[in-house]
Amino acid sequence: MQTNPHTSSSSFSGQDLHLSYGGPMIVEGLTITIPTQAITAIIGPNGCGKSTLLKALARILIPEQGKVEVNEVDIHSQSTKEIARQIGLLPQNPRSPDGITVSDLIQRGRYPHQGIFRQWSREDEASVNNALSVTGLTNFSDKPIDELSGGQRQRVWIAMLLAQETPIMLLDEPTTHLDIAHQIEVLDLLKELTRQHNRTIVMVLHDINLAVRYADNLIAMRDGKIKTFGEPHNVVTAQMMHEVFSIQAQILQDPVSGSPLCIPVIKNT
């Protein structure tokens, strides 16, 4: 796969974000600069606002106050297709139409690059074929998605995101519902994308130990605020686990990678 000059961005940030779904503020005054061409994982307890933050970064949620900027331009000041060529999202529970085939779904990822008269250019075709091969789905392209396994289905959605060719990819819990082998498969793929294709990835992850292994940076959130932000070995400490998750945990050194390994201490044992 050749590196596409359009798929690397220079800056991505959220400034003074106030976020709510019409009711109480979930995130209040959050500012973050996302490191580009790296993987950033957001961790935190349920309801801490991590998915909300991701939705704001993906411009699904319009901030009550503050702004999200790509290359120092407010994303809400740009046309929808223009911004769709820069930021892509894999939602937590993506919805696929009944009976849709793998290639049909992935092709829809090309929408922001198409127009009324430009419906299936050479770039579209190359991009979809590339997305199929990177995710190892070439042989499945004519299969209905309903017939695939959970791991394969997740790969189809990632392939669609790849076909969108955005420098920034946001993923909301991309490994939920997957077994350990498929979790690793998906995360390996994402890692390859940042290393070889300069993509900027932000994802919400529940498994702290996987987040530590795969992310270059961690954001630990609680009550709509960022508690700590930085490289995994600086973020994952017994104190952070207590402050963010309210649990007692021991932090060991992972014998395989040398990164921190979090072992929760369970009461009554």
Piece of the chain touching other proteins by CB under 8 A; list 82-90, 190-198, 203-211, 224-232: 82-90
Asked whether position 120 contacts other proteins by CB under 8 A, the answer is yes
- As measured in angstroms, the least distance from the Cβ of 65 to other proteins is 18
Cα dist from 203 to 113, 158, 176, 207, 263, whole Å = 24, 12, 12, 12, 22
Cα gap 33→28, rounded to integer Å: 16
Piece of the chain touching other proteins by CB under 8 A; list 37-45, 111-119, 216-224, 257-265: 111-119
CB count in 10 Å sphere of residue 29: 13
Q: Do the Cβ atoms of 158 and 90 come closer than 8 Å?
A: yes
Asked whether position 98 contacts other proteins by CB under 8 A, the answer is yes
Asked whether position 97 contacts other proteins by CB under 8 A, the answer is yes
Picking from 216, 225, 222, 258, the residue whose alpha carbon sits closest to that of residue 242 is 222
Binding residue count for other proteins, defined by CB under 8 A: 41
How do beta strands 25-34 and 73-74 pair? unpaired
Q: Hey, what are 143's tokens?
A: 């299969």
Cα gap 136→156, rounded to integer Å: 9
Choose which of 116, 181, 256, 266 interacts with other proteins (CB under 8 A). 116
Instruction: State phi, psi for 126 to the nearest 5 degrees.
Output: -65, -40
> How far is Cα of residue 212 from the mean position of the Cα atoms in its chain?
15
Asked whether position 129 contacts other proteins by CB under 8 A, the answer is no
Choose which of 15, 64, 74, 108 interacts with other proteins (CB under 8 A). 108
Asked whether position 76 contacts other proteins by CB under 8 A, the answer is no
Piece of the chain touching other proteins by CB under 8 A; list 11-19, 35-43, 89-97, 248-256: 89-97
Binding mask 10-49 for other proteins (x = CB under 8 A): ------------x---------------------------
Residues of the shown chain interacting with other proteins in the complex, contacts defined by CB under 8 A: 22, 55, 58-60, 80-81, 83-85, 87-89, 91, 94-101, 104-105, 108-109, 111-112, 114, 116-122, 124-125, 142, 164, 170
